Amino acid sequence: MTESLLAILFAAPLVAVVVSFGMRSARLAEYVTVVAAMVDLLVSVPLLVRVLNGPVTLAHSYLRLDLLGAWVILCISIVYTLSSIYAVGYMRLLDEEKRLPLFYGLFSGFAFTMLAACVTNNVGVFWIAIELTTLISTFLVGFEREAESTEAAWKYIVVVSGGISLALLGTVLFYWAGSFVLGPTYAMTWAALHTSAPAVYPPLLLVSFLLVLVGYGTKAGLAPMHTWLPDAHSEAPAPVSAMLSGALLNASMLGIARFLAVVSGTSVSRFAHSAVVGFGIFSFVIAALFIVRQTGIKRLMAYSSVEHIGVQALGLGFGGVFGVAGALYHMLNHSLNKSLMFFGAGNAMRAYGTKEISGIRHVLRAFPVSGTLWLLGAVGIAGAPPFALFLSEFTVLRAGIGGRYRWAAIVFVVFLIVVFIGFLAHFRAMYFDDAPQQQVRPLSGLVWRTLPMWLAFVPLLVLGLWWPRGLWEVFTKISFQLMGGSQ
């Protein structure tokens, strides 16, 4: 049963890729992508339920689905669904009718590689999957073929390839370290790393972990390795920005979480957690400062992603049930909220014909409904109740205050306030500042562009008011697996 669910999960985007490339019809590609994404979303929920009672190993133990992997799959499928619906409306505005099948093919391929990263049992294959996400998404980032987007794509691939090669070095060193315990040749699985880690010479283990952390941290957008992120997120078409921010960062965080779990039973555990907390708080502070003085609308959203990936790193680094639960809940909430924000930003950019915040004024006049959703989303992403990000940030904070990293928790609170003021100041200007009457281009595809915003907003509000008991159970189980070693 789990096998067939997994088969459907991977077959759906694959079919979308083949149909998009094969049929060369823009309309067909759009609909196939939306259907594939919805199928993935429908499948990802029962998958999560099926692994509640323990991980499932498949295909001669090449694939292994555990609760954490299933959770990230759920987050990715949600973003895939929302952004493929939004893409139908948005991409038609670009006047690139001929290249649309190419876009949707790459789009589904991108989703496929991210999903693959979640289920692989092999540490090397995980690295390859993450590397492939870069290669595919580079062309999505550069899709608009302007000077800026090409520059962003180039910086993206150079910085991320360099960073991810550090993760490969770390992986090789992990394998080498394990060979002292398990013999020269063994399967490169997560379980093997868990078994060998406690017996490895600590400095070697630490260097390997730090390399992996920096490597996948580059891909996750942790500062100071985040430099590619604002460029890529701001220059990609809006649905791709949502995928990069809401899904790709999660897939890379999965790698960090898994490796953190590997070293958490060992003597370097404390240092490793401190390193993750350090990167988390540094990302948060850097992002907060850039948010305050940002001028580009999508760069604002991009720095907000750096901020929220910092929060997730903080949660994982603080550890404990609260820390892990907060980080994972934050992952879901951020995926929903950031998709909403990028969709709103895409609408505004197309209508006002500018990427600058200063060029966007009186949003509510141009977008009465989706503008309201966007504004509420901004309040949510700044961390205000009653939206879900408030709950998850509060949980992360709760984990930090009680533990060894109280200083980080205090810095976190201070800069949360900075972000709140800085972020909402930009929105106040866009909504309520006086400005001369502007040319606003009417946009087509209203339903396609507004529906996903509703679909993101409603769960955001619901999850902010009510933390389902079932989710809490999932998080508790994941945090025990992460702390106790899932084997």
Please give the residue ranges that form the binding site for other proteins (CB under 8 A).
122, 124-125, 128, 131-132, 135, 138-139, 142, 145-155, 157-158, 161-162, 165-166, 168-169, 172-173, 175-176, 179-180, 183-188, 200-201, 203-204, 207, 230-231, 234-235, 290, 293-296, 299
Between 110 and 457, name the residue whose CB sits nearer to other proteins.
Answer: 110
Torsions phi, psi for 362 (to 5 deg): 55, 55
CB of 347 vs other proteins, minimal distance in Å: 22
Longest CA–CA span in the chain (Å) reads: 73
Between 149 and 312, name the residue whose CB sits nearer to other proteins.
Answer: 149
The tokens describing 42, both together, are 């429908």
Which class for 430: exposed (0-12), middle (13-18), buried (19 or more C-beta within 10 A)?
Answer: buried
Between 162 and 265, name the residue whose CB sits nearer to other proteins.
Answer: 162
Between 255 and 452, name the residue whose CB sits nearer to other proteins.
Answer: 255
Torsion of CA 148, 153, 156, 161, to 10 degrees: -150
3-state secondary structure at position 112 = helix
Q: Scan for tokens 């992990």, then name that residue.
A: 174
CB of 179 vs other proteins, minimal distance in Å: 6
Which class for 161: exposed (0-12), middle (13-18), buried (19 or more C-beta within 10 A)?
Answer: middle
CB of 174 vs other proteins, minimal distance in Å: 10
CB of 474 vs other proteins, minimal distance in Å: 31
CB of 6 vs other proteins, minimal distance in Å: 20
| Dist. CA 120–CA 190, nearest whole Å | 9
The DSSP bridge partners found for residue 296 are 356
Between 293 and 469, name the residue whose CB sits nearer to other proteins.
Answer: 293
Between 173 and 332, name the residue whose CB sits nearer to other proteins.
Answer: 173
CB of 273 vs other proteins, minimal distance in Å: 21
398: Cβ contacts below 8 Å, ≥ 6 apart? 322, 326
The DSSP bridge partners found for residue 57 are 64
Between 264 and 294, name the residue whose CB sits nearer to other proteins.
Answer: 294
CB of 418 vs other proteins, minimal distance in Å: 17
Between 179 and 372, name the residue whose CB sits nearer to other proteins.
Answer: 179
| Dist. CA 306–CA 322, nearest whole Å | 21
130: Cβ contacts below 8 Å, ≥ 6 apart? 113, 117, 164, 167, 216, 219, 251, 252, 255
C-alpha radius of gyration, the chain, whole number: 21
The DSSP bridge partners found for residue 122 are 189
CB of 234 vs other proteins, minimal distance in Å: 7
CB of 476 vs other proteins, minimal distance in Å: 34
Between 139 and 420, name the residue whose CB sits nearer to other proteins.
Answer: 139
CA distance readout (Å), 359 to 91, 352, 372, 391: 22, 7, 19, 33
